Amino acid sequence: MKSPLRIGIAGLGTVGAGVIRIIQNNDDLIARRAGRPVVITAVSARSRRKDRGVDLSAYDWEDDPVALARREDVDVLVELIGGEDGPAKAAVAAALEAGKDVVTANKAMLAIHGNELAALAETAGRALRFEAAVAGGIPVIKTLSEALAGNRIERVMGVMNGTCNYILTRMESEGRSYDEVFAEAKALGYLEADPRLDVGGIDAGHKLALLAAIAFGTRVDFPSVVLEGIERVSITDIELARDLGYRIKLLGVARMTGRGLEQRMQPCLVPADSPIGRVEGATNIVMIEGDAVGPIVLEGAGAGEGPTASAVVGDIIDIARGLRLPVFGQPAHTLEAAPPARVATPAPYYLRLLLEDRPGALAKVAQALGEAGVSINRMRQYRHDTPAAPVLIVTHRAAEEAIHQAVAAIREVDVNLDEPVALRIEEI
């Protein structure tokens, strides 16, 4: 058997402890599958005293993750610190410059600095693996870059933030408001320290940018991802969508169009009986459409110690086997800088309005829609006991620009009493 692959782990939070636990518990199995032993030589974290539920006594300790990355007895740096800059990026760059391979779960760092780090890794002839950065334990990176390498990818879409999906499905199942379920998720520890990373779509947008780069052979371009969070989704929207046969999901979609690369992360209505519509709780799902394979669906746990640590260890084993691939599926210098494109494909839209209940109110709304080139498929006015009349409109297929124009016009109509809500109905 070959000499051991020696790894250093920077970051001993939930995932770091999980990686250690897997390597300790499955060392014989890993050695057989990797063709060589995988051993931990050193670790690094902010506190030496914290009880992490795993035995660290056999490993050397480095207070500085950059020093860990440069150790002579470390072949692979496993970066689990997090954060787009700071010690995480410094340690990864130091490891690559020192001729080490790197495994990371850091989606934010790669979404911002992925192009730079990919070029650095490939110049050094080293691996930079990041399966755990997207969708936890779901092998979506490997599927896109390896199994589907012969396909022209037409669309990537999915639910990529378990916290948002948990909030939306709890609102639906419990009939509770966004604020109530948000507080529950925060108490359970499901939210990031900055909740906007989750509910604002930023975390999921990082993941989408990485998938788009692999799927379409483009440079990672997170700043061009259109982001809209779930903060404005109300229990009323969820109930009305259900009545129409839909569910609301924070949906990521990436596709290459004639105008450029479309990347968006936004709440959408999806058919309730579709694979994406059926996803519950903190589960993630990614749908990939290839020209040869057609649509395939990958679903599973998108976060948590076990699933994410499993993905990290899978990357370590690939490196132990000698597998070194371009970071984003093709050499970094061949990745194209695609122009960003807004939504190019027309779709039906859900519009929820609150109008003054007086003659001619609906006619004024219909006029605003018509002048924007938006036609009504169906409309429903709900029973009410106040002068404010709730109205639901489902449009025929319309361009996003036309919907924005119509909503802006409705805001100015004198019968409008509240901010209109417009959500795309995604055709799956």
- Residues 238 and 157: their CA atoms lie apart, in Å, by 21
- Residues 320 and 31: their CA atoms lie apart, in Å, by 9
Cβ neighbors of 390 (< 8 A, separation 6 or more) are: 236, 352, 353, 354, 381, 382, 384
Question: Which one, of 350, 341, 328, 171, lies nearest residue 253 by Cα?
Answer: 341
Residue 13 has a CB neighbour count (10 Å cut-off) of: 15
Angle between the N-to-C axes of helices 361-371 and 400-412, in degrees from 0 to 180, rounded to the nearest 10: 140
3-state secondary structure of 303: coil
Tell me how far apart the terminal alpha carbons of the chain are, to the nearest angstrom: 49
CA-only gyration radius of the chain, Å = 24
Q: Per the structure block, which two tokens stand in for 393? A: 């409109």
3-state secondary structure of 19: helix
* Residue 89 appears among annotated catalytic residues: no
Q: Which of 142, 207, 249, 364 is catalytic?
A: 207
Q: Per the structure block, which two tokens stand in for 84? A: 């787009």
Alpha-carbon dihedral 188, 16, 285, 26, rounded to 10 degrees: -120
Cβ neighbors of 266 (< 8 A, separation 6 or more) are: 201, 226, 227, 228, 250, 251, 424
3-state secondary structure of 260: strand
Tell me if 194 sits within 8 A of 222, measured CB to CB. no
Tell me if 268 sits within 8 A of 251, measured CB to CB. yes
Tell me if 221 sits within 8 A of 338, measured CB to CB. yes
DSSP summary character for residue 218: B
Active site residues: 207
